[in-house]
Amino acid sequence: MHGSRACDQCPGELVQNEVHALLFCQEHRVCELRKHSSFLFTPFFDDFSAAQPFLLQQVNNQLVHDFLSQQNNRPFLFLSEPMDLFVAGRDQSAADQPNNLAEGHPHCNIVIIER
């Protein structure tokens, strides 16, 4: 995901980037992953719920940073699953590669693109 094209996983014309995959994508499988991990989202995002497991309003960089900076590795465990779905749609061999997200690898960066 490079942030330069519309999401090919959900309806709408939102730019497909890491923040979109994490919070905004409305693709059914991604929403199901968020529902399963809703306890990660509800303390940070008021409009997140099991009935609507995606956000409609843009969020600021600090809120995304706070979400990813939780004092455990759960956000990274969650993040690896939707990323696999997005990558698998294009190249399954890339999705099968280890990504070290679960360990909170210091070289894993989320790029936040302002609109």
pLDDT single digits (tens) 40-72: 998 999 888 888 899 988 899 999 999 988 888
What value, to the nearest 5°, has the Cα angle with vertex 86 and ends 69 and 3?
70
Residue 105 or residue 9, greater confidence: 9
| CB-based contact 72:79 (threshold 8 Å) | no
Number of domains forming the structure of the chain: 1
| CB-based contact 101:76 (threshold 8 Å) | yes
Cα(7)–Cα(28) distance, rounded to whole angstroms? 13
State percent of the chain over pLDDT 70: 72
| Model confidence pTM above 0.85 | no
- How many Cβ atoms sit within 10 Å of the Cβ of residue 27? 19
Structural domain of 41: 1-115
Cα(100)–Cα(102) distance, rounded to whole angstroms? 6
Residue 69 or residue 102, greater confidence: 69
Would the pLDDT of 97 be above 80?
no
Among 7-16, 42-51, 55-64, 74-83, the least confident range: 7-16
Cα(21)–Cα(37) distance, rounded to whole angstroms? 14
Alpha helices in the chain (DSSP H): 18-19, 28-36, 38-41, 61-68, 74-88, 92-95
Distance between terminal CA atoms of the chain?
16
